[in-house]
């Protein structure tokens, strides 16, 4: 902790959400290390951080890979609170995972307390065309309803993997800029106090 970012590049905190087994960790690891993990091992809560160049500017991306399993649903609130942007992942081969995105969306909005959260709806496993259950149109419809973007990815082929992370970072950056414009540093203080109060309660 002594080595905490002396150069101070901007840090964007991304949280991966979605049902178990849709490929959140696979996407993360593909993005981070260009590798595809075949074995399935349920995640509890993984943390990754690296420096990337976003539109010519060096930034740090912090990825919190959460557990999809219902067992951990109770601790999600805490994670979501610290997140700045969300990749809501489902598998296009699994109807239930698509339905679950609705619940995740609602939970995020509840925790973040607002509509305008950097959020991307991600349909993973795009390489498995023949097992597709959710049509693009269906997903697009939901994205439009939520007023977010829908991207189809494949962790296996690395298709659109970088795109989703970079798109989300851009959204986070623009959101942060909006915030600084609005509250100009005071907002930060305010939110801190507010959060402390919450803790006390």
Partner 1 sequence: MGPPPSVTGISPKEGPPGTRVTIRGEYLGREPNDVIGLLICGSDCLLSAEWKSSNKIIARSGPGKGRGDILITTKSGGRGTCTVQFRGYHETIGPLKESAVWVEEAPLPGLSWGHRSLSHSTYHLEDPLGLSVEEHEKKFPEDDLHEMFPERSGDLTAENFEPNWFLLEHHHATSFDDLKVGLSYLKRKVEGQKEGQLSFLKDNVSSVMEQMDTLFILKDKFAEDQKKQNDDSITKIENSINDSFNEANKLFEDVLSRREKADATRQALAVMTRYKFLFFLPMNIEHNIKHGDFDLVMSDYARARNLFGKFETRVFTQVLSEVESIIQNLKVSLRSKLEDMPATLEQQKKIIRNLVILGVEGDPGWVAITKTYSYIQEQLHENRKKHIAAENAQLDAETSKHKTDAMADTYRKLSVNLLPDLQNCSPPRVAFIENIVELMLQMFPEFLKLGQAYFNGELQIKPDRNKQTEFKTFAVSVVKLVCSLVRTSILPQNIDKDLQWPHHSSSKQSSINEIISLWLPHCIRLVQTLYSSLIALDISHESLEMVSKLLLDLRIHSMIIQLKKTADQVKSLESKENWCLEFDAEFGAITQLPGEFEKLVTDSVQRIKESALETERKELSVLTNSTAKQELTSLTNKIFLNFVQTLEFLGMISEDHDHAVAVSQLIGSPTPYSENSSTELTWEQRLLAMLSNCRYTRIVLYPKLSALFRHHGFPSIEEPVEQCSAALSTLENRMTETYVELKSDPLVGTVEPSMYLGHFEWDTCTKPNDLRPYAKEILTNITAVYAEVHRLVPKLLFHIISQIVETVAEELSRLMSCVTKFNNYGKIQARIDITGLQRVLHQFMTDNAKCFFDEALDVVSPITNSENSIIEEVLTNFLKKMSLQLSCFTAVRPTKD
The reply to whether 3 sits near partner 1 by the rule CB under 8 A is yes
3-state secondary structure of 23: coil
Structure tokens given for 131: 């097992």
Contact window for partner 1 (CB under 8 A) among 60-68, 123-131, 137-145, 168-176: 60-68
Residue 39 to residue 32: CA distance in whole angstroms: 17
The reply to whether 194 sits near partner 1 by the rule CB under 8 A is no
The reply to whether 44 sits near partner 1 by the rule CB under 8 A is yes
Residue 117 to residue 158: CA distance in whole angstroms: 26
Nearest CA among 168, 178, 180 for reference residue 62: 168
Give the residue carrying structure tokens 């990754």.
48
Nearer to partner 1, 67 or 168 (CB): 67
65 to 94, contacts with partner 1 by CB under 8 A?
A: 65, 82
CB of 178 to partner 1, least distance (A): 22
> Applying CB under 8 A, which of residues 10, 32, 59, 109 lies at the interface with partner 1?
32
Nearest CA among 190, 187, 185, 22 for reference residue 99: 22
Strand partners, 121: 88, 150
Q: What is the DSSP letter of 185?
A: T
Contact window for partner 1 (CB under 8 A) among 57-65, 106-114, 123-131, 178-186: 57-65
> Applying CB under 8 A, which of residues 50, 110, 131, 163 lies at the interface with partner 1?
50
Question: Residues in contact with partner 1, total (CB under 8 A)?
Answer: 27
Number of other CB atoms surrounding residue 3 within 10 Å: 5
CB of 46 to partner 1, least distance (A): 4
Name the site residues for partner 1 (rule: CB under 8 A): 1-4, 25, 29, 32-33, 35, 43-51, 60, 62, 64-65, 82, 192, 195-196, 199
């Amino acid at each position: 902790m002594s080595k905490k970012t002396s150069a101070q590049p901007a840090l964007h905190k991304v949280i991966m959400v979605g049902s178990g087994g849709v490929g959140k960790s696979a996407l993360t690891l593909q993005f981070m290390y260009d590798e595809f993990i075949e074995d399935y091992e349920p995640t509890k809560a993984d943390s990754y951080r690296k420096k990337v160049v976003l539109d010519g500017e060096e930034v740090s991306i912090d990825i919190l890979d959460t557990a999809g399993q219902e067992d951990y649903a109770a601790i999600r609130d805490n994670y979501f609170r610290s997140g700045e942007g969300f990749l809501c992942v489902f598998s296009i081969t699994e109807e239930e995972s698509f339905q679950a995105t609705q619940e995740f969306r609602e939970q995020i909005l509840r925790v973040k307390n607002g509509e305008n959260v950097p959020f991307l709806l991600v349909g993973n496993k795009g390489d498995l065309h023949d097992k597709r259950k959710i049509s693009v149109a269906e997903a697009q419809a939901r994205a439009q309803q939520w007023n977010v973007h829908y991207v189809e990815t494949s962790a296996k082929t690395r298709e659109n993997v970088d795109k989703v992370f970079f798109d989300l970072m851009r959204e986070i950056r623009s959101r942060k800029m909006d915030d600084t414009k609005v509250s100009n540093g005071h907002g930060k203080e305010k939110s801190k106090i507010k959060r402390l109060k919450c803790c006390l309660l």
